């Protein structure tokens, strides 16, 4: 008993000393500079990124366009920024006309606004040198110029955006359980910014919402104040859909931005950013964290040394609650979940494997042949040695949804151009799918490493195989299936170089009458995403058509979907077509091997361009694509070299006199 009392006195004395030290530190910190969330103008503007579309043409040094641009930026925009939070200006005539604008974030002061626009004007002349279009984004402001009017939302803006990344998995750590609150909060802000003319400044809306006792969400949206409400609504909706909530906290488009923050303060308190957090809080927050941890450790130590009598001897197999021990089985699937999944697999006639069998067939996961965002793929062999397989082992925490979707899709379909599922494993959090093995790997690796060995005929055959697989999903399945992630990495080839579509983790199954009305969160891969799907979230089979069109262009050009930081493959092809330089589109590895098949190259280019039209109605169906590609294959070696080249020259001349790409047939 005496020992117990001594421990109590010592613990109380330690706590009193720690509280005294903390009080003294608070008094000292109170004299430190306070700072604040509103910039004082003493910090440099925080540069985010830029976009300089090369398809917007260029100007020469010393030209009237350059003079007009410098006049618009320095004489007008920078000068206005000291008294206006936004401004636009137009100067010059004809081909030398310049449209320029800026807007500052709604929660910064005019001095900060001026400093930001001044920095942006200097930066944009450097990074977009001699180009007739440019955008630079800072956290405090956006500045843009072009050779056309820029005060409305353009669907091409979907290709001109810049995300601000966060190194932590925001969605996974915080927002999963609060998804409905997040969605409704951001939609409400978008509606306010687009439709409430009384906002100051116009087009800027922000709010804070308590998610839990320790987490608060702050959302912010902003449009250029001088655009219409409709343009504002479309831009903000597109920006929100472009956000990858796992890694992105802000999305910048040319005329709008969307952002959010999560922080542990009261909803009414302004969320301090990392760049403007008050000095005393920068010191105090880590200090408080250390003090709290020490207090908890003291309490834990005291509790462990002197447990209450009632809990002194817990029953066998039952440990006392421990605030420092996390139950690792908390997120594991229940027995009922596993039984349901196993029953689903049996209904589809799939073989079920144990986890030990998966280990055996992969020789202890020895040979990795692929890796994605949710899984790692290993080479394996069935126990009897009769068949090679590919084993996709899923992440224990991030991929149950993709696992279930693939079983549901692949268990109900069968086609020569779709990868077949042999079986599956589902034991607790151990998830794996076993597929037929595709010896030649994926099309992405093939194009990047062995492009010079893939003939034009073989490329067309690969395109036909892929199109037939997608056509079966769209029109051969009931209900139909939309893949939603068509790209070269998901097109696999067997030892005969026949292509099969794979990876159905993002696929959607639904009745045909609902296809055009179903809205979902946007998934897929940048460079292959349908802009209309990005804008509206509406799933449609023509979204797969758009993605296939990009893949077809990759087969033709040998280039990747994103040509450079400011241009995607579709934009590059259109710019080449406008110059009438069709020959430059073809992969240089094919230019001496096409022989008499130039006309089939042209027909395939034309088909690909139709696939990536912005309007869904202008795109062909997968059935039409299969038919036209087979026509190209049948045409090979039937045209004479001279007549085909003559046709190519005539088509080049026709395109050079037009303003767009080939006219759809």
Q: Is the Cβ–Cβ distance between 569 and 560 less than 8 Å? A: yes
Higher pLDDT, 311 or 532: 532
- Same structural domain for residues 255 and 404? no
Residue 248 lies in a domain: yes
- Same structural domain for residues 432 and 554? no
pLDDT of residue 588: 83
Report CA 367 to chain centroid distance, whole Å: 30
Q: Is the Cβ–Cβ distance between 186 and 240 less than 8 Å? A: yes
Our CA dihedral for 261, 267, 272, 273, rounded to 10 degrees, sits at 10
Residue 600 lies in a domain: yes
The CATH number assigned to the domain holding 567 equals 1.10.510.10
pLDDT of residue 436: 93
Domain boundary among 436, 462, 494: 436
Residue 650 lies in a domain: yes
Q: What phi, psi does 422 have (nearest 5°)?
A: -85, -45
- Same structural domain for residues 404 and 459? no
Domain boundary among 399, 416, 436: 436
> How far apart are the C-alpha atoms of 243 and 523, rounded to whole Å?
10
Q: What pLDDT, in 10s, does the model give residues 163-186?
A: 665 544 454 456 667 778 888 999
| From 485, 503, 530, 544, the catalytic residue | 485
Domains in the chain: how many in total? 4
pLDDT band at 17 (very low <50, low <70, confident <90, very high): low
Residue 632 lies in a domain: yes
Q: Is the Cβ–Cβ distance between 134 and 62 less than 8 Å? A: no
Whole-Å CA distances, 502 to 515, 550, 604: 21, 17, 23
Domain boundary among 411, 436, 461: 436
Q: Is the Cβ–Cβ distance between 443 and 544 less than 8 Å? A: no
Tokens of 540: 């449609």
Worst-scoring range by mean pLDDT, 195-209, 236-250, 278-292, 455-469?
Answer: 278-292
- Same structural domain for residues 481 and 509? yes
> Known binding site: residues?
392
pLDDT band at 221 (very low <50, low <70, confident <90, very high): very high
Q: What pLDDT, in 10s, does the model give residues 115-149?
A: 999 999 999 999 998 888 899 999 999 999 988 88
Max Cα-Cα span within the chain: 108
- Same structural domain for residues 415 and 554? no
Look up residue 171 and give its DSSP letter. I
Q: Is the Cβ–Cβ distance between 422 and 435 less than 8 Å? A: yes
Concerning whether 442 is annotated as a catalytic residue, the answer is no
- Same structural domain for residues 116 and 174? no
pLDDT of residue 327: 31
- Same structural domain for residues 500 and 625? yes
- Same structural domain for residues 462 and 572? yes
User: What pairing do the DSSP bridges indicate for beta strands 86-91 and 98-104?
Assistant: antiparallel
Residue 177 lies in a domain: yes
> How far apart are the C-alpha atoms of 518 and 537, rounded to whole Å?
8
Buried b (16+ CB within 10 A) or exposed e, 19-57: eeeeeeeeeebeeeeebeeebeeeeebbbbebbbbbbbe
Residue 195 lies in a domain: yes
- Same structural domain for residues 186 and 111? no
Q: What phi, psi does 424 have (nearest 5°)?
A: -150, 165
- Same structural domain for residues 408 and 555? no
pTM for the structure as a whole:
0.51
Residue among 251, 253, 257 nearest 193 (CA): 257
- Same structural domain for residues 491 and 623? yes
As a whole number, mean pLDDT of residues 446-474 equals 92
> How far apart are the C-alpha atoms of 457 and 497, rounded to whole Å?
12
Residue 356 lies in a domain: yes
Residue 198 lies in a domain: yes
pLDDT band at 539 (very low <50, low <70, confident <90, very high): confident
Residue 113: pLDDT above 90?
yes
Angle at 110 between CA 104 and CA 114, to 5 degrees: 70
Report CA 79 to chain centroid distance, whole Å: 37
The residue segments making up the domain with residue 525 are 443-656
> How far apart are the C-alpha atoms of 322 and 328, rounded to whole Å?
13
pLDDT of residue 307: 43
The DSSP string of 456-501 is HHHHHHHHHHHHHHHHIIIIISSS-EE-S--SGGGEEE-TT--EEE
Report CA 61 to chain centroid distance, whole Å: 37
Q: What phi, psi does 286 have (nearest 5°)?
A: -65, -35
The CATH number assigned to the domain holding 179 equals 3.30.430.20
- Same structural domain for residues 108 and 206? no
> Known binding site for ATP: residues?
392
pLDDT of residue 38: 36
Our CA dihedral for 332, 336, 337, 338, rounded to 10 degrees, sits at 90
């Amino acid at each position: 008993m005496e020992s117990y009392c001594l421990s109590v006195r010592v613990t109380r004395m330690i706590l009193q000393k720690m509280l005294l030290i903390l009080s003294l530190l608070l008094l000292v910190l109170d004299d430190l500079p306070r700072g604040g969330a509103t910039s004082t103008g003493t910090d440099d503007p925080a540069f985010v990124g830029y976009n300089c579309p090369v398809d917007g043409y260029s100007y020469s040094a010393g030209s009237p366009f350059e003079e007009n641009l410098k006049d618009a930026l320095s004489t007008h925009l920078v000068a206005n920024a000291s008294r206006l939070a936004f401004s636009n200006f137009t100067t010059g005539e004809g081909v030398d006309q310049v449209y320029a604008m800026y807007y500052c974030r709604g929660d910064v002061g005019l001095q900060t606004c001026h400093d930001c626009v001044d920095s942006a004007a200097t930066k944009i002349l450097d990074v977009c040198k001699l180009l007739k279009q440019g955008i630079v984004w800072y956290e405090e402001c956006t500045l843009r110029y072009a050779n056309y009017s820029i005060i409305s939302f353009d669907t091409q803006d979907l290709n001109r955006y810049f995300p601000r990344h966060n190194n932590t998995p925001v969605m996974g750590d915080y927002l999963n359980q609060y998804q409905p609150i997040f969605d409704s909060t951001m939609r409400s802000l978008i509606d306010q910014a687009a439709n409430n003319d009384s906002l100051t400044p116009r087009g800027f809306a922000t709010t804070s919402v308590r998610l839990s006792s320790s987490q608060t969400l702050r959302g912010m949206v902003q449009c250029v104040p001088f655009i219409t409400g409709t343009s504002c609504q479309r831009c903000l909706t597109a920006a929100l859909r472009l956000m990858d909530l796992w890694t992105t906290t802000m999305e910048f488009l040319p005329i709008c931005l969307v952002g959010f923050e999560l922080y542990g303060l009261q909803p009414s308190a302004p969320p301090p950013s990392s760049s403007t957090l008050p000095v005393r809080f920068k010191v105090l927050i880590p200090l408080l964290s250390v003090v709290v941890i020490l207090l908890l450790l003291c309490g834990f130590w005291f509790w462990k040394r002197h447990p209450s009598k009632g809990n002194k001897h817990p029953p066998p197999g039952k440990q006392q609650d421990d605030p420092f021990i996390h139950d690792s089985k908390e997120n594991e699937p229940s027995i009922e979940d596993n039984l349901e999944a196993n029953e689903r697999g049996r209904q589809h006639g799939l073989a079920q494997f144990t986890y030990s069998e998966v280990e055996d067939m992969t020789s202890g996961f020895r040979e990795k042949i692929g890796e994605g965002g949710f899984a790692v793929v290993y080479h394996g062999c069935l126990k009897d040695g009769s068949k090679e397989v590919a084993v996709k082992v899923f992440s224990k925490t991030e991929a149950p949804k993709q696992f279930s979707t693939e079983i549901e899709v692949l268990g109900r379909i069968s086609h020569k151009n779709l990868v077949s599922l042999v079986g599956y494993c589902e034991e607790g959090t151990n998830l794996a799918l076993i597929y037929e093995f595709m010896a030649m790997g994926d099309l992405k690796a093939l194009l990047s490493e062995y492009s010079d060995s893939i003939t034009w005929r073989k490329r067309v055959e690969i395109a036909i195989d892929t199109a037939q697989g997608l056509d079966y999903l769209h029109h051969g399945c009931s209900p139909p299936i939309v893949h939603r992630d068509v790209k070269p990495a998901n097109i696999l080839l067997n030892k005969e170089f026949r292509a099969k579509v794979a990876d159905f983790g993002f696929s959607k199954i639904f009745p045909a009458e609902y296809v055009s009305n179903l809205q979902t969160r946007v998934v897929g891969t940048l460079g292959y995403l349908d802009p209309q799907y990005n804008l509206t979230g509406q799933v449609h089979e023509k979204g797969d058509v758009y993605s296939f069109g990009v893949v077809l262009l990759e087969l033709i050009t040998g280039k990747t979907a994103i040509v450079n930081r400011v241009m995607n493959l579709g934009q590059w092809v259109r710019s080449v077509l406008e110059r009438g330089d069709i020959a430059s589109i073809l992969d240089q590895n094919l230019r001496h091997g096409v022989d008499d098949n130039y006309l089939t190259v042209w027909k395939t280019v034309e088909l690909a361009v139709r696939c990536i039209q912005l309007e869904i109605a202008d795109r062909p169906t997968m059935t039409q694509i299969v038919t036209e590609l087979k026509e190209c294959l049948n045409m090979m070696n039937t045209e004479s070299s001279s007549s085909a080249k003559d046709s190519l020259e005539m088509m080049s001349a026709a395109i050079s006199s037009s303003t767009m790409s080939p006219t759809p047939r």
